[in-house]
């Protein structure tokens, strides 16, 4: 099978650099282009210099040209930037892997609409291990459906701008679905003051931000006399980047459709 040519959005950022590094060594993937916002340092230079491995691909600020040069664009930027890149991908007939989080309902609707024309993998977390945890949570929620309170605790670095994380929200959605609940109705996002006793049907979320924490997530099922914790901890951004390349390869040859990592990993 021929390699898929990828363009990396936000290539000079922390996640962008990891995506560049991974694309350069990943079998079946070719780094075709890398781009970032105008005025970003390193524009016009070899993007490989950012990771100490010059590769001949220049970091540009023309998103249209970069996306046109590739088969698939991989984007972990911000919602507003991602939606702009998605519009270009749709116009140019290119596939897209979206790891950006923090979309509102309108943004999610725009992604679904674009996927009617081009293939898109949109997932709150691209790491294979996290997606295995999603399946474990389905099983746990079915078994622990009575007498257990559910809390989701997540921690990320000080630079993360959305909370709770997209992964934490997806964990809550998975558990709520298995318990026959709607997360919009039962989620509690923080507690302060005299809150009264905990309502059994709620799913609580706690958020920690600090330092350089890449991403820690725990779902706690707390019963009387015991508690079960399902935890995933990321030691680096590499798992997200590796999963993204796997998603890009999954999209090769597909004409349209909205997919997530459960589809990519064959878990549906």
Q: Which residues contact 19 (CB under 8 A, 6 or more apart)?
A: 8, 11, 74, 76, 241, 244
* Residue 1 pLDDT level (bands cut at 50, 70, 90): low
Question: What is the Cα–Cα distance from 128 to 261, expressed in whole angstroms?
Answer: 8
Question: In the predicted model, is pLDDT for residue 248 greater than 90?
Answer: yes
Percent of the chain beyond pLDDT 90?
Answer: 96
Question: What is the Cα–Cα distance from 84 to 49, expressed in whole angstroms?
Answer: 27
Helix (H, G, I), strand (E, B) or coil at 221: strand
Helix (H, G, I), strand (E, B) or coil at 224: coil
| Stretch (H or E) spanning 240 | helix 238-251
Active site residue 156: yes
Give the closest residue to 143 by CA, choosing from 204, 262, 228: 228
| Residue 206 annotated as binding site | no
pLDDT one-digit tens code per residue, 36-60: 999 999 999 999 999 999 999 999 9
Distance of CA 265 to the CA centre of its chain: 15
Question: What is the Cα–Cα distance from 125 to 28, expressed in whole angstroms?
Answer: 21
What's the predicted TM-score (pTM) here? 0.84
| Residue 166 annotated as binding site | yes
Q: How many residues does the chain have?
A: 268
Question: In the predicted model, is pLDDT for residue 119 greater than 60?
Answer: yes
Q: Which of 156, 199, 217, 233 is catalytic?
A: 156
| Residue 14 annotated as binding site | yes
Active site residue 217: no
Percent of the chain beyond pLDDT 70?
Answer: 100
| Residue 101 annotated as binding site | yes
Q: Name all domains of the chain by residue range, CATH numbers in brackets.
A: 4-126+237-264 (3.40.50.720), 128-234 (3.30.360.10)
What is the biggest distance separating any 2 CA atoms in the chain, rounded to whole angstroms?
Answer: 61
pLDDT one-digit tens code per residue, 151-197: 999 999 999 999 999 999 999 999 999 999 999 999 999 899 999 99
* Residue 124 pLDDT level (bands cut at 50, 70, 90): confident
Q: Which of 160, 199, 217, 233 is catalytic?
A: 160
* Residue 143 pLDDT level (bands cut at 50, 70, 90): very high
Question: What is the Cα–Cα distance from 154 to 168, expressed in whole angstroms?
Answer: 7
Question: What is the Cα–Cα distance from 124 to 102, expressed in whole angstroms?
Answer: 9
Question: What is the Cα–Cα distance from 212 to 195, expressed in whole angstroms?
Answer: 32
| Residue 15 annotated as binding site | yes
Give the chain's mean pLDDT: 96
Cα dihedral 13, 87, 248, 259 in deg (nearest 10)? 120
Distance of CA 6 to the CA centre of its chain: 17
Give the closest residue to 20 by CA, choosing from 29, 28, 36, 31: 31
| Residue 125 annotated as binding site | yes
């Amino acid at each position: 099978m021929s390699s898929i040519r990828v363009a990396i959005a936000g290539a000079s950022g922390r996640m962008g650099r990891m995506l560049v590094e991974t694309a350069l060594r990943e079998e079946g993937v070719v780094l075709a282009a890398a781009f970032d916002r105008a005025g970003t340092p390193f524009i016009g230079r070899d993007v490989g210099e950012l990771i100490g491995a010059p590769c001949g691909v220049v970091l540009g600020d023309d998103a249209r040209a970069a996306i046109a040069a590739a088969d698939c664009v991989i984007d972990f930027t911000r919602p507003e930037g991602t939606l702009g890149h998605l519009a270009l991908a749709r116009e140019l007939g290119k596939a897209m892997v979206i790891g950006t989080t923090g979309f509102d309902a309108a943004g999610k609707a725009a992604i679904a609409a674009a996927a009617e024309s081009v293939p898109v993998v949109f997932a709150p977390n691209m790491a294979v291990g996290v997606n295995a945890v999603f399946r474990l949570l389905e099983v746990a929620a079915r078994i622990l459906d009575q007498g257990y309170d559910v809390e989701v605790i997540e921690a990320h670095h000080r630079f993360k701008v959305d909370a709770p994380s997209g992964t934490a929200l997806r964990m809550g959605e998975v558990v709520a679905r298995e318990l026959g609940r709607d997360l919009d109705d039962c989620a509690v996002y923080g507690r302060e003051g005299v809150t009264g006793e905990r309502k059994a049907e709620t799913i609580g979320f706690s958020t920690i931000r600090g330092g350089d924490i890449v991403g820690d997530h725990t779902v706690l099922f707390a019963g009387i006399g015991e508690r079960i914790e399902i935890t995933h901890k990321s030691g680096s951004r590499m798992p997200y980047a590796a999963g993204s390349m796997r998603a890009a390869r999954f999209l090769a040859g597909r004409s349209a459709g909205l997919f997530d990592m459960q589809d990519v990993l064959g878990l549906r």
